Amino acid sequence: MARTIDQQIAEAQARLSRLKERQKASETRRKIIVGSVVISNALKEPEKARALAALLRRAVTREVDAKELTGLLGELDTVAEKAALRPQGAGGEGRS
């Protein structure tokens, strides 16, 4: 039995909708992976911690989002402060 043009259009639209959902899921996974790598790296390196905290404070403007980041910003600040308190030449590069 032959499909009508309307049926073919409906099927094509449904297929397009599924592809868009897959694309969005892929983009979300990519953001999660990149975010995880960036955060993990920043929590190990004081300069990156300082830079990421500054970027987040500058770029995140919605109050609900800022509240969600409170704990992370505290962790980043702690990493950055530990480096500032460490004497030069004591296991770090220090500042010149």
In this predicted model, what pLDDT tens digit does every residue of 35-49 receive, in sequence order?
999 999 999 999 999
Count CA atoms within 13 Å of residue 71 on its CB side. Answer: 1
Put simply, whether the predicted model's pTM sits higher than 0.75 gets the answer: no
Q: Which amino acid is at 80?
A: A
Taking every pair of Cα atoms in the chain, the longest distance, rounded to a whole number of angstroms, is 81
What are all long-range contacts of 21-26, with beta carbons under 8 Å and residues at least 24 apart?
none
Tokens 């009508």 sit on residue: 4
**Mean predicted confidence (pLDDT) in 2-13:** 95
Q: Which amino acid is at 78?
A: T
